[in-house]
Amino acid sequence: MNLVTTLMSRFSGIISLPHLLSVQGGLTSAKNEVLDTIKFLVNTILIPLASAFLIGMLVFNIVKAVKKHHGAEPYGENITGIIIVVVVLAVVVSSPAWIWTMISA
């Protein structure tokens, strides 16, 4: 019986809270690794692609407005489109500075 008690006391240390904390630490580390990967992909791939697309839309709207202006046609809706694209482009380009704080990542 003494051997069983000794073994139980030794194994109770193995099954105690510090090992649960290390598992939780491992999960936290894995979560941080995934978030770092997502941040990298968003900051280096998604935001530049979205910015390039918006710049293309901006150029398209400017060219369309200039053509309408030279043809003496009303081009007010194109100016509104240009302003909207500029505002969205500013938000997208500045998003790495604030988006991760906003989602607490």
Indicate the pTM of the whole model: 0.68
Domain extents for the chain? 2-102
Residue 91 pLDDT greater than 90, yes or no = yes
> If 0-12 CB within 10 Å is exposed, 13-18 middle and 19+ buried, where does residue 61 land?
buried
Summarize pLDDT for 69-86 with one digit per residue, the tens.
888 888 888 899 999 999
Tokens standing for residue 79: 């100016």
Angle at 101 (CA atoms; ends 97, 104), nearest 5 degrees: 150
CB-based contact 78:61 (threshold 8 Å): yes
